[in-house]
Amino acid sequence: MLKDIDVAIIGAGPAGIAAGVGAREAGAERVVVFERDWDLGGILQQCIHPGFGLHTFKEELTGPEYVHRYLERAHRAGVQFVTNTMVFHMEEDGSFWTMNPERGIEHVTPKATVLAMGCRERPLGALGIPGSRPAGIYTAGTAQRFVNMEGYMPGKRVVVLGSGDIGLIMVRRMILEGAKVEGVFELMSWPGGLRRNIAQCLDDYGVPFYLDHTVTKVHGKDRLEAVTVAQVDQCKRPIPGTERTIECDTLLLAVGLIPENELSRMAGVEIHPMTGGPRVNQFLQTSKPNVFAAGNVVVVYDLVDWVSAEGVRAGENAARYALGRLGAPERAFQVVPGKGVRLLSPQVVGDQEDSTVFLRVSEPVERRCRIVTKPHVGATNLRYARPGEMNEVVLRAKALRELPLDVTTVEVSVEEVR
């Protein structure tokens, strides 16, 4: 059943489904998407709020509606889905091993593989907060699944640590279900999520939002009873004398997402230290030529529209590789972050075609600014730049080809417009 596969895709979230569409439309005969869950769609299954698809479909959709639109395209294109199948090991040649209750263990040897495993939430254990480990502490995504899919309320009196988008959205969801949200506490001096989510989920419901604050201790034995919060200084250390205790029965964590790359490491794929995801070129090709990667497994995006667009590109290029049509560039340039840029992707571009580089800034710029490159091969004007929002710049192939042969690096920076 799992023989003669041109392109195999690991993960049936928005990136994986889109990669399947891209691979089939680029000419790959047999495209198979492997998903460990029973259902398709990944995290979007539980994202019942609107706000998806504004760029891709020019209308506002819920997460399940967005998935349904892409699944229709995938089924029409002839993409095959294999659910309830865990990929538990990956070989360095790009093949991998799967486990299914009915078929047992199988070895899959595709011509090209696309990694689309998405990302996971940073848990409490990664934060080093003192105190016991009582019931009532959840990542925001876990709480979202409990409420939206399982029908369980995590608690009635809530504190949120971190201001990631899932956490902000869960503030509104918990209030609509009858809970009281005592406040959102963010370690950084700026929000971690989109401004629209702050407006719609915090401001509209009168929820206090504290920047430069963190939880310093949790209280409770069997069930969470309270948390201690404190203001932090410029070095992000709690300021003595600013502590206060807030009674609550639930603590939701929205403190960042981590690309899911255990399989990538098994395959020997080079992981970029800045993004935590595979190092990729403009084709979304990893250090293993027959292994591609797309979506939040590469770098955490702010909008699912970008995840799907990159999934389509990864699928197209994986198909071109499987069919022997993906040529190597004559010249390759390393793309590195400069002033004001925290991370970017891809990290390598060629000179055959224009390349779009996605990036996040290291701190907010609340005035007109520009993304610039050194040497000058592309630029983007912005009204503002915020760490919670992804920005992009196009590197022009013609300009890259005209660079002296000893130039092999392009630095991307953000500067204010005076």
Among all chains, which residue has been given the structure tokens 């029409």? 76
Q: At what angle do helices 63-77 and 14-25 cross, to 10 degrees?
A: 20
Contact 255, 162 (CB under 8 A): yes
DSSP of 354-417, one letter per residue? -EEEEEEESS-B-S-EEEEEES-S-EEEES-B-TTS-EEEEEPHHHHHTS-TT--EEEEEEEE-
Cis check: omega of the bond before 346, within 30 degrees of 0: yes
Looking at the fold, whether 196 and 265 belong to one and the same domain comes out as: no
At 19 the pLDDT is 98
At 1 the pLDDT is 60
Looking at the fold, whether 164 and 46 belong to one and the same domain comes out as: no
At 53 the pLDDT is 94
At 127 the pLDDT is 83
Residue 199 belongs to domain with CATH number: 3.50.50.60
Question: In this predicted model, what pLDDT tens digit does every residue of 33-85 receive, in sequence order?
Answer: 999 999 999 999 999 999 999 999 999 999 999 999 999 999 999 999 999 99
Among all chains, which residue has been given the structure tokens 């709690």? 238
Question: In this predicted model, what pLDDT tens digit does every residue of 366-390 receive, in sequence order?
Answer: 999 999 999 999 999 999 999 999 9
Average pLDDT of 253-264?
Answer: 95
Is the pLDDT reported for residue 16 higher than 90?
A: yes
Looking at the fold, whether 145 and 294 belong to one and the same domain comes out as: no
Question: In this predicted model, what pLDDT tens digit does every residue of 394-403 receive, in sequence order?
Answer: 999 999 999 9
Residue where a domain terminates, one of 218, 233, 253: 253
Contact 26, 112 (CB under 8 A): no
At 278 the pLDDT is 98
Question: In this predicted model, what pLDDT tens digit does every residue of 180-208 receive, in sequence order?
Answer: 999 999 999 999 999 999 999 999 999 99
Looking at the fold, whether 245 and 216 belong to one and the same domain comes out as: yes
Contacts of 418 (CB under 8 A, 6+ apart): none
Looking at the fold, whether 287 and 370 belong to one and the same domain comes out as: no
Task: Say if pTM beats, i.e. exceeds, 0.75.
Answer: yes
At 402 the pLDDT is 95
- In the chain, what is the straight-line distance between the N-terminal and C-terminal CA atoms, in Å? 62
At 202 the pLDDT is 97
Looking at the fold, whether 168 and 112 belong to one and the same domain comes out as: no
Average pLDDT, the chain: 95
Give the SS3 label for residue 187.
coil
Residue where a domain terminates, one of 327, 358, 381: 327
Looking at the fold, whether 23 and 110 belong to one and the same domain comes out as: yes
Contact 183, 160 (CB under 8 A): yes
Q: Between the CA of residue 284 and those of 199, 237, 277, what are the distances in Å?
A: 34, 39, 11
At 2 the pLDDT is 76
Q: How many domains does the chain have?
A: 3
Of 141, 150, 204, the C-alpha closest to 170 is 141
Is the pLDDT reported for residue 351 higher than 80?
A: yes
Print the domain residue range for 384: 328-417
pLDDT band at 149; cut points 50, 70, 90? very high
Residue where a domain terminates, one of 210, 228, 253: 253
At 330 the pLDDT is 79
Looking at the fold, whether 176 and 236 belong to one and the same domain comes out as: yes
Looking at the fold, whether 240 and 318 belong to one and the same domain comes out as: no
Looking at the fold, whether 210 and 168 belong to one and the same domain comes out as: yes
Is the pLDDT reported for residue 225 higher than 70?
A: yes
Looking at the fold, whether 243 and 302 belong to one and the same domain comes out as: no
Looking at the fold, whether 1 and 50 belong to one and the same domain comes out as: yes
Average pLDDT of 224-244?
Answer: 96
